[in-house]
Amino acid sequence: MDAVNVTRQFVIFRLANEEYGIDILRVKEIKEMMNITRVPKAAHFVRGVINLRGEVIPIVDLRKKFGLPKVEETESTRIIIVSVDDLTVGLVVDSSSEVTEINGAAIEEAPAAIGNVEQGNIFGIGKVGERLIILLDVVKIITNSAI
């Protein structure tokens, strides 16, 4: 990482037993789970589309994208709306409740592979006290997913 001492804010969310982080500048909003309209013939990790104030937004199931087992939705399931350039996409996660500051110095480069997340989708591991947070590269996740 070049910008060693820059502190950035990350939206933290949970998937299975891991904590993940997304640069807050990419996050437009976090919505509670809502009815998703299935889109036939879409990629397996695309849950469908939702109506976000009159705009139709595609929804990606991050569990499916990362090859994690399917779970029932709970009260705490959230959709994180992220935007990359002119693409706006919702990401379904198990829960999300926190924004954390992580200093550039506390971010380590990603090891070869973490669990099922392809390395390209991760740009680093953030250390916050004892916790290890997998920091995702939203741009890559979305551009890799686009059809």
Chain residues in the site for another protein (CB under 8 A): 35, 37-42, 46, 48-51, 53-58, 86-89, 142, 145-147
Which residue number, 24 or 84, has a Cβ lying nearer to another protein?
84
Which residue number, 38 or 131, has a Cβ lying nearer to another protein?
38
Smallest distance, Å, CB 66 to another protein? 18
What is the rounded distance in angstroms from the CA atom of residue 117 to the CA atom of residue 122? 8
What is the rounded distance in angstroms from the CA atom of residue 45 to the CA atom of residue 107? 28
What is the rounded distance in angstroms from the CA atom of residue 102 to the CA atom of residue 10? 7
Smallest distance, Å, CB 61 to another protein? 14
Which tokens go with 53? 């104030």
Which residue number, 40 or 69, has a Cβ lying nearer to another protein?
40
Smallest distance, Å, CB 131 to another protein? 31
Smallest distance, Å, CB 35 to another protein? 6
Q: Decide: 108 and 114 in contact? Cβ < 8 Å.
A: no
Which residue number, 114 or 139, has a Cβ lying nearer to another protein?
139
